[in-house]
Amino acid sequence: MDEKQTTAQPHGCVFCTVIAPQIDAIMDHMWPENTREHFRNARVEVLKGMRSLIDARIERLSQNEKKGTKVTVE
């Protein structure tokens, strides 16, 4: 088995398993420290944006949830 097969998850996020490690390798060897820091911060901000979208969707789904109906039992 080659290295890609051992590190990639079969059903994992393509960005996390394929793209991010390649970006990290480039960053570690070629870019100045301040450049690496900017790109790391940008990745964190993208993830925060995704989290806010998920939170908004959860909130919207929670609001549309219909509550039970009152039934009088005799």
pLDDT digits (tens, 9 = 90+) for 6-27: 454 456 787 778 888 887 787 7
Mean per-residue pLDDT for 36-54? 93
Q: Is 31 exposed, middle or buried (0-12, 13-18, 19+ CB in 10 A)?
A: middle
Mean per-residue pLDDT for 35-44? 89
Token pair in block for residue 70: 């009152």
Q: Which amino acid is at 12?
A: G
pTM comes to: 0.49
* Residue 24 pLDDT: 77
pLDDT over 50 (residue 52) = yes
